[in-house]
Amino acid sequence: MHRRYDRRSRPDRPLRAAGLFVLTLLNSACGAGWHRPEPPPSGALPPRQQVQVWQGGRARQWHAVRLGADSISGIPFLASPSCDSCRVSVPRGAVDSVRLGSPTGGVWKSVGLGLGVVAVLAVVACASAPSCNFTD
């Protein structure tokens, strides 16, 4: 006699749901942390500080940014912060907003969080398996 297999009664279903939940958290947990500083900063920012300068619905990503009274200048993110000939400037009045962030830092946080979650899941899976023994 054949027994019908019911997918809803699979024991790994809660583990899959937890895995999808963890992946969703990982996807949003460690972003660049873009934020609008209030009040807006003035003067020179640290050379590696990444800045989004929004103008007309378009963001430019710069570093080595200098915020003056009448203009904002910076070096495009893909160029070296020491490349003064790469520096571009826009009038401060033409800028919609300025956001500070760290996409590189967000990547490393995501990698660390992902490895930590995988390690915890591996320990939980091993501890719940009868063939896994931590005391040997």
User: What is the β-pairing status of strands 97-101 and 88-91?
Assistant: unpaired
Contacts of 73 (CB under 8 A, 6+ apart): 65, 66, 87, 88, 89, 90
Mean pLDDT over all residues of the chain?
A: 79
* Average pLDDT of the segment spanning 109-135: 75
The pLDDT > 90 percentage for the chain reads 32
Instruction: List pLDDT tens digits, range 39-80.
Output: 777 889 999 889 999 999 899 999 999 999 899 999 999 999
- Please report the pLDDT score of residue 38 as a whole number: 81
Is the preceding peptide bond at 41 cis, omega within 30 degrees of 0?
A: no
Residue carrying the six token digits 């390690």: 119
* Residue with the larger pLDDT of the pair 35 and 20: 35
Confidence label for 6 from pLDDT (cuts 50, 70 and 90)? low
pTM of the shown model: 0.57
Q: pLDDT band at 22, cuts 50/70/90?
A: low
